[in-house]
Structure 1
Amino acid sequence: MTTKSIALTHEDLARFEAGDQRTFSKIFDLYYELVFQKVFRFCQCKEEAEEITQEAFIQLFIHRDKIKDCEGFFPYLYITAKRLAISFYRKKIVRQEYQAQLKKNWQEQDQPIDAALDGKYLKGILSEVLEELPPQQQMVYRMNKLEGYSYQDIAEKAGLSKNTVRNHLSLASKVIRLKLEKILFSVILICSIFF
Structure 2
Amino acid sequence: MLIKPLLDENELLRKVTMGNEHAFKILYDHYRRLVYPRAFYLLKSESLAEEVLQEVMLKLWQTAGKLKADTNLAAYLTTLTRNRSFTLLKRKALEAKTDLELGKGWTEQDNGTEEGILLADTKKLLAKGIALLPPQQKLVYELCHLEGMKYEEAAEKMNLSVETVRGYMKLALRFLRAYLKTHTDVVALLVIFKLF
Distance of aligned partners of 1:47 and 1:101 in 2 relative to their CA distance in 1, 3 Å threshold: same
The aligned residue for residue 12 of structure 2 is 12
Task: Write out per-residue CA displacement over residues 9-41 of structure 1, whole angstroms, 9 at most, x where no aligned residue.
Answer: x33222333444443333222212321111111
The aligned residue for residue 119 of structure 1 is 119
Distance of aligned partners of 1:156 and 1:85 in 2 relative to their CA distance in 1, 3 Å threshold: same
Task: Write out per-residue CA displacement over residues 151-192 of structure 1, whole angstroms, 9 at most, x where no aligned residue.
Answer: 222233334333332333233334334545x539x846xxxx
The aligned residue for residue 183 of structure 1 is 182
The separation in 1 between residues aligned to 2:129 and 2:27, in whole angstroms, is 29
The answer for unaligned runs of 5 or more in structure 2 is 187-196
The aligned residue for residue 151 of structure 1 is 151
The answer for unaligned runs of 5 or more in structure 1 is 189-195
The aligned residue for residue 28 of structure 1 is 28
Task: List aligned pairs for 1:77-96, cutoff 5 A.
Answer: 77-96=77-96
The separation in 1 between residues aligned to 2:92 and 2:6, in whole angstroms, is 34
Q: How many residues align?
A: 185
Task: List aligned pairs for 1:166-177, cutoff 5 A.
Answer: 166-177=166-177
1:31–1:74 CA contact under 8 A, matched in 2:
yes
The aligned residue for residue 55 of structure 1 is 55
Distance of aligned partners of 1:120 and 1:33 in 2 relative to their CA distance in 1, 3 Å threshold: farther
The separation in 2 between residues aligned to 1:40 and 1:86, in whole angstroms, is 12
The separation in 1 between residues aligned to 2:157 and 2:164, in whole angstroms, is 13
1:13–1:70 CA contact under 8 A, matched in 2:
no
Matched to 1:52, the amino acid is V
User: Which structure features the higher share of helix residues?
Assistant: 1
The aligned residue for residue 142 of structure 1 is 142
1:60–1:76 CA contact under 8 A, matched in 2:
no
The separation in 1 between residues aligned to 2:123 and 2:138, in whole angstroms, is 15
Give me the TM-score of the superposition, normalised by structure 1: 0.75
Matched to 1:183, the amino acid is T
Matched to 1:38, the amino acid is R
The aligned residue for residue 191 of structure 1 is none
